Amino acid sequence: MKRVKWMATCGAAGVLSLAAASWFGTSQSVVEAQNFAPKSSTITAKDCAIAIIDSALLAADRPGILDYLELEDGDEVQANQKVAGLKDGVARSALATATEKARNDVQERYADKATQFANKELEIAKDANLKLPGTVPLLEVQKLVLAAERGSLQVEQAQAERTIAILTKGEAEENLKTYEVMAPPYDCRVSKVLKKKGEAVRQGDPIIEVISTRRMKIEGYVTPAESFAIKPGDVVAVQLREPAEYANMKFPGVVKFVDPRVVGGKQVMVTAYVNNTKEILKDGLPAVMTIQISR
């Protein structure tokens, strides 16, 4: 294999040329490999496809009867908005019970008072024996010590039971959430309502389909040599090929992914995410993508 000399004047193009030469597995020189590198600061993918990125089929986490469903096709939905709900009367009653138990600290306060009283009795008995030994028999003193210790344990028991009640309340709150169907964490629009109020649903049954067109995915193809120059984060501009009235509009975005696979030995797919200004871009429209190469 011929020895390839590094020329200081090659710059970034030289690095790209060496990568191209290595990729093709040939013994070509740097000058010969440069024929495969893009000759401008932009690369154009002409046959691009526009697709929706953010779409979701919303379903319930459990089976039940739809009790709340007010949305219709085309309605706007805010991020994390409740869009549907199942009948949840039993779950709400369970939560109310758990909340009351978590709030009730009577046993804890009673145990504390009982402990204070037992400690006071023990203190009085010890003081009496200090003044006149034998006033309170030893066995009685031991009973008072045991009562004080039992009081302390009762306080711990009451505190533990209340902690469990608080945790049970939290479990009931989380259980209640499974009766709700929430929108995804982005603003969107209802594209299709699949179920009706009063209808029975199984766990995971799609209820509402939502989409967002505020950003779109653009997929286009470049040559293998051009793909070496493109990196995630490179700026792109997308233009529609039709309809004609929007052909001069440019939609900004960035490259998200350069596929490491070569299709048919001739093409590499490049994926970019683009801001859909005024939501003009539509799924399926043909487009042209111009990629600004970062040096």
pLDDT per residue as tens digits for the range 265-285: 889 999 999 999 888 999 999
- What is the tens place of the pLDDT at every residue in 3-17? 333 333 334 334 333
In the chain, the DSSP E strands lie at 42-59, 64-68, 76-77, 82-86, 180-182, 188-193, 200-201, 206-222, 235-240, 251-258, 268-275, 286-292
Closest CA to 184 of 61, 272, 82, 46: 82
* 34: confidence class by pLDDT, cuts 50, 70, 90: very low
The reported pLDDT for the residue numbered 246 is 83
- pLDDT for 39 equals 52
Residue 25 pLDDT: 41
Higher pLDDT, 36 or 197: 197
Q: If residue 107 lies in a helix (H) or strand (E), which one and from where to where?
A: helix 106-131
Q: What pLDDT does 200 receive?
A: 95
- Nearest partner of 270 among 42, 15, 19, judged by Cα: 42
pLDDT for residue 40: 58
Q: Is the pLDDT of residue 98 over 90?
A: yes
Alpha carbon distance 82, 65 (integer Å): 16
The CATH number that domain 36-54+211-292 falls under is 2.40.30.170
| pLDDT attached to residue 21 | 38
How remote is the C-alpha of 178 from its chain's centroid? 17
Q: What confidence tens digit (pLDDT) does each residue in 154-175 have?
A: 999 999 999 999 999 999 999 9
When pLDDT is cut at 50, 70 and 90, the band that residue 226 belongs to is very high
Report the pLDDT value the prediction gives residue 242, as an integer from 0 to 100: 82
Domain boundaries, the chain: 1-35, 36-54+211-292, 56-84+181-210, 91-177
CA angle, 61 then 66 then 67, to 5°: 120
**For residues 114-141, average pLDDT:** 89
* Domain 56-84+181-210: top CATH class: mainly beta
Structure tokens at 284: 């399926």
